[in-house]
Structure 1
């Protein structure tokens, strides 16, 4: 089965879940449809860039098409004119059997066209696309119009499906399949005592300064404790400044953005993983952070928040600790509780076992393939991409 993977940018090294689909889904029989191409095609896949510029003719007719698509489909993201014709040729020339849009926002752009071509289309909700993206009624309306066009829906967490459902956005064939982790590459090694790691962008949703202050409180009497931050972003320098202000700079190491292999190597020897995820003021949330799944696979004891899909991963007191969002004092207490677990190796082993059972991406990939095949067999005429759907 030949699958077109639709994503915003190709290739992004940090999007391991999408890259795995591109490389391995249905034996790697895939092509890529992307919004932007970053100049790297490590898997040698045929690809099509949807936003490669408009022709002169398309620029002339753009106002009419943008207005039409917004009125009919609730969004102006749909391709039109020569760009649409080129995408149709690509999908036909590559003999695409099914489309997997890796974000709900990508599905918005492609669902009507897929329907017109008789190509079944699925989408995956991963976080922002089912939180921040639906703050406006315009986007919620567009999603409601899109749902009947889809053959099926996947999500990395039940939280995201519930969040969509609260706004009347649902699909009868919806399934939770986490992004997962390669548990053969992410595995525990000997742990460095009192080693802590936080991975992610320095942005509001990750609350790095809350993590830093809580770590400072919890380890005030532990001079050997060390916290490594991996990532960059607008809050990096303010977090550095806070470390100096608190007088704990010697306990911290800021590594900036690092390759995925570096993150893996650090996780394997780290004892405690910290992630104080919160809902940003613009409504942006996590789905189920891949970093937490990777940390559990490496046997890290995770201290995080009751946010989005995180409680679906961590069993409180068994594989890690959770506190409410923005509860800095509680986060410090949870870090201290993690440090003082009577049998750290046993909790580490339970975290690893949970990752093996829930997040093995080899198993999850097969589950995704099987569900796509089953959904195609079960889809009644008129649902999710058959020719009698409304045309684009």
Structure 2
């Protein structure tokens, strides 16, 4: 079976679930190519397990001759189909002009992709994310006759719902990564809820073999954050929590990742007197992150609602932390409580509650046996529901049934 996976940007260090899914499809004997709709970051780190995908990833230019010729050919051969498509794009984006213009901008390359799918004998198109990747997949499917589906994660559904019901109606299925997303999408007007399938993201089974952390004893509590340094990740609140604790207990914190707010976060750490406690380690590949989990006594996922309604889904870092049996502090937000059950598999705090994060970290240090018990329960939950081998296989079965 030949599968095309569509994403928005490539490569993305944070989108490990996409590349791990592709690796599982290949392991099952399927041919897979990855198409990126918008941006290419040639200097970005590529995880070792994603290199085969990186070598075969491709795109078409927005105004490349191949894209423009494909669109012109489609207009001449199927004018009614194209007019209907343009009307749908215009009507669905009438309140979001900028987003609508971007949807029209990807039209030529989407048509070219449809022609490519037909010529290559692609059996199914799956878009990771319900925004532009799903738009590209829908157009390519219309042109080629190849069935498509898409995954609904977080920002791709919470920020804008333009064209979302139309894409879902044409898709063979819509994969939602959480029960929260199932409920949220099911309440949208005109959304075909019968298309929805719950299939979590996941992490490799091998992570479950990681040794449990040693107790901090009289030394510092090692706190780890892994993720982008952007607003919705809530790192400022973690820094505030550390400042509240610095005179009460020895601490160290590593912040792994990068983003637009890194400079402001460094300034905040200095202002809060966290020099010598917090280090900003930059982006790391999967193996380096795994070593960081080995260092950590606790992991914090301090997510908040960002500008424009930007929200996490169920962060993969939370799955990784629990797979490593690390005590986890996370926000009560979106689908996170499905994985992190307060007092059962970890600690939940309200979004933006620095004092709550501080209390949770203090509790981890003060009652280490309980922290280990919760972390073990978290590992068991990951084993039961959040392994990439199991969930990629379930997504692959859905794709095979739809093709």
TM-score by length of 1: 0.84
Are 2:193 and 1:177 aligned? no
The structure 2 residue matched to 1:236, chosen from 262, 265, 269, is 262
Q: How does 1:12-161 map to 2 (within 5 A)?
A: 12-25=12-25, 26-35=28-37, 36-39=39-42, 42-43=51-52, 46-55=56-65, 58=68, 69-73=85-89, 74=92, 75=100, 77=103, 80=107, 83=109, 86-105=112-131, 106-134=133-161, 139=162, 142-161=163-182
Q: 1:120 to 1:217 in 2, by over 3 A?
A: same
> In the comparison of the two structures, how many residue pairs are matched?
366
CA contact (8 A) 2:111 2:140 kept: no
Aligned partner of 1:8 in structure 2 is 8
Aligned partner of 2:236 in structure 1 is 209
Instruction: Summarize deviations over 1:68-110 as a string: whole Å, max 9, x none.
Output: 74422335526555x4564233212321111111111211222
Cα deviation for residue 174 of structure 1 reads 1.1
CA contact (8 A) 2:67 2:112 kept: no
Instruction: Summarize deviations over 1:266-317 as a string: whole Å, max 9, x none.
Output: 1133111111101112110111101111111011111111111110111211
Q: How does 1:153-302 map to 2 (within 5 A)?
A: 153-168=174-189, 169-185=191-207, 187-191=209-213, 193=216, 194-223=221-250, 225-302=251-328
Whole-Å separation in 1 of the counterparts to 2:230 and 2:389: 31
Cα deviation for residue 250 of structure 1 reads 1.4
Aligned partner of 2:360 in structure 1 is 334
Q: How does 1:338-377 map to 2 (within 5 A)?
A: 338-341=364-367, 343=369, 344-375=371-402
Instruction: Please state whether the residue corresponding to 1:22 is helix, strand or coil.
Output: helix
Please list every run of 5 or more consecutive structure 1 residues that lacks an aligned counterpart in the other structure.
Answer: 377-392
TM-score by length of 2: 0.82
Whole-Å separation in 1 of the counterparts to 2:243 and 2:6: 43
Whole-Å separation in 1 of the counterparts to 2:399 and 2:118: 20
Whole-Å separation in 1 of the counterparts to 2:13 and 2:355: 35
Q: 1:71 to 1:212 in 2, by over 3 A?
A: same
Instruction: Please state whether the residue corresponding to 1:191 is helix, strand or coil.
Output: coil
Please list every run of 5 or more consecutive structure 2 residues that lacks an aligned counterpart in the other structure.
Answer: 93-99
CA contact (8 A) 1:131 1:160 kept: no
CA contact (8 A) 2:256 2:280 kept: yes
